[in-house]
Amino acid sequence: MSSMNYDERIPNNVDLGSDRRLKRALEKWQPDFLEWWRSVGPQVFSTDEVYLRTAISTQAGGWANFGHVRMPDYRWGVFLADAEKDRVIPAGDDAGSPVWQQVPGEHRNALRRIIVVQADTEPASVEQQRWLADTAPSLYDCRNLFQVNVEEARHLWAMVYLLMAHFGRDGREEADALLTRRSGDPDTPRILDAFNQPCSDWLTFFCFTMFADRDGKYQLASLAESAFDPLSRTCRFMLTEEAHHLFVGTMGLDRVIRRSAQLTKADPNGDARAQGGIDLPTIQKWINHWFSYCLDLFGSEVSTNAADYFASGLKGRYREAAAYDDHRATTGTRTVPTVQGGSLVGQEFPLRLVMNEVLRDDYIADCAKSLARWNRTLADEGVEYRLSLPHRRFFRRQGLYADHPFDLEGQLVDQATWEAHKDAWLPTAEDHAYVESLMKPVVEPGKMANWIAAPPKGINGQPLDFEYVRTDH
């Protein structure tokens, strides 16, 4: 199963040739996908050769082939991780029973919804990022952006395959709708709010790949623990691609932070902006904005949907099969602070009701590792400033803490306090204008924009001055 067939019109490792109905449906969707890519995919260097990796095997390690490809010629395909022998349902009431190869009737609507919501994020991010190459700080970064874009588009293929293979006509209609919604469009927006936010500068792009793609990792990881085996296998392979996106975010920010520290030191007044860089307090504001937006993506703290998904085995916790002994979670509680009469009061809930909060914990712990890395970079550069994550209650628009102002430490504050501090906590119009003013393209191989440090090494062993994008400009 691990061999990938690139001879067919749609590369795959799911033996598409043996299912003529499905093959026809996907082949009918393919030109619409390409039209979508042309109209709202990357708009700059869109037909130039880019040094991209393409999946050639589902085996861990060495699964990718690198070479220069024009993006419209990228071989988007359908790849599932190898089946796990005798796999059993990892979570919920039926934990330990054999997994499902087909969608059970009673879970059809819920599974379709779960897949559509995940699927919708994939094209959305490509749309959000479509003009970024216009201001890439280097060819190296430009190439990384395009790698993320083609893989997000492949994730769309992965989800559309599931919809078409398992949800009949409804699935085909959902697949068409995925190409008609548009990020940020007031009439036909993408489903989740973070995916309708503009991404017009590279600090935002790095925050997006750091925080939103990392949310994606945790959503995919919880679906990799699904009782519906084709979904699990699809997500397990997507996770191998996702690792690169997270690298782009964590290391991209690390380089901006390093450069910011260097420019802070170089300036007589310690002002990185005076040296044409992005100052650390501005970076902190971007972190505050994107971390809080992405926390919303995990859903409400107390959620009957989350409880139902867990009970029926549609989703598991992060590393459910490997990291837990009790897969039913029918005992145990968690205390969640809730706002009551103007103050925070701890309220106890059964564990299954707080599964979103459990997944959010894993995500926050993962983000904290990147923060620790960046603070090591700051220490390394000899500046005193330290970055931090805001509290999970800060600036939320979903769940128990929406509509209540909290400070960065998670303390409930009054509206006046919020108003007095919000410009110090979150990016202002002036901050956006400043960051955007720095966004000038650098297309000479090996050169970096002034506001970002060079990466420690190139891609796939290539030197930094490699022609990662063969621009005709």
- Nearest-approach distance from CB 152 to Fe ion, in angstroms: 5
- Nearest-approach distance from CB 126 to Fe ion, in angstroms: 10
Residue 98: C-alpha distances to residues 12, 102, 229 (Å): 26, 12, 10
Residue 258 binds Fe ion, judged by CB under 5 A: no
Decide whether 42 or 399 has the Cβ nearer to Fe ion: 42
CA-closest candidate to residue 270, choices 385, 184, 183, 412: 385
- Nearest-approach distance from CB 151 to Fe ion, in angstroms: 7
Residue 255 binds Fe ion, judged by CB under 5 A: no
Decide whether 100 or 205 has the Cβ nearer to Fe ion: 205
Q: Is residue 98 classed as helix, strand or coil in its secondary structure?
A: strand
- Nearest-approach distance from CB 249 to Fe ion, in angstroms: 9
**139-166 and 229-266 helices, crossing angle to 10°:** 160
Residue 245 binds Fe ion, judged by CB under 5 A: yes
- Of the candidate residues 48, 49, 201, 213, the single one contacting Fe ion (CB under 5 A): 213
CA distance linking residue 152 with residue 227, whole number of Å:
24
- Of the candidate residues 155, 258, 259, 334, the single one contacting Fe ion (CB under 5 A): 155
Q: Could you tell me if 347 and 335 are in contact, meaning their C-beta atoms sit under 8 angstroms apart?
A: yes
Residue 265: C-alpha distances to residues 259, 274, 453 (Å): 10, 11, 14
CA distance linking residue 430 with residue 439, whole number of Å:
15
Each residue 261-290 as x (binds Fe ion by CB under 5 A) or -, in order, gives ------------------------------
Decide whether 161 or 385 has the Cβ nearer to Fe ion: 161
- Nearest-approach distance from CB 118 to Fe ion, in angstroms: 8
Residue 367: CB atoms within 10 Å: 20
Q: Which stretch in 168-176, 238-246, 337-345, 412-420 sits in contact with Fe ion by CB under 5 A?
A: 238-246
Nearest-Å Rg of the Cα atoms of the chain is 23
- Nearest-approach distance from CB 80 to Fe ion, in angstroms: 15
Q: Could you tell me if 387 and 257 are in contact, meaning their C-beta atoms sit under 8 angstroms apart?
A: yes
Decide whether 210 or 227 has the Cβ nearer to Fe ion: 210
Each residue 124-143 as x (binds Fe ion by CB under 5 A) or -, in order, gives --------------------
In degrees and rounded to multiples of 5, residue 128 shows phi and psi of -60, -35
Residues numbered 83-122 forming contacts with Fe ion, rule: CB under 5 A: 122
- Nearest-approach distance from CB 433 to Fe ion, in angstroms: 28
Decide whether 149 or 471 has the Cβ nearer to Fe ion: 149
CA-closest candidate to residue 192, choices 248, 108, 116: 116
Residues numbered 6-25 forming contacts with Fe ion, rule: CB under 5 A: none
Q: Which stretch in 56-64, 88-96, 237-245, 273-281 sits in contact with Fe ion by CB under 5 A?
A: 237-245
- Quick one: how many helices (H) and strands (E) in the chain? 13, 5
Decide whether 248 or 307 has the Cβ nearer to Fe ion: 248
Give the position of tokens 């007044």: 269
Residue 347: C-alpha distances to residues 335, 354, 373 (Å): 5, 12, 35
**Going along 151-197, which residue ranges are E strands?**
none
Applying CB under 5 A, the residues found at the interface with Fe ion are 122, 152, 155, 213, 216, 242, 245
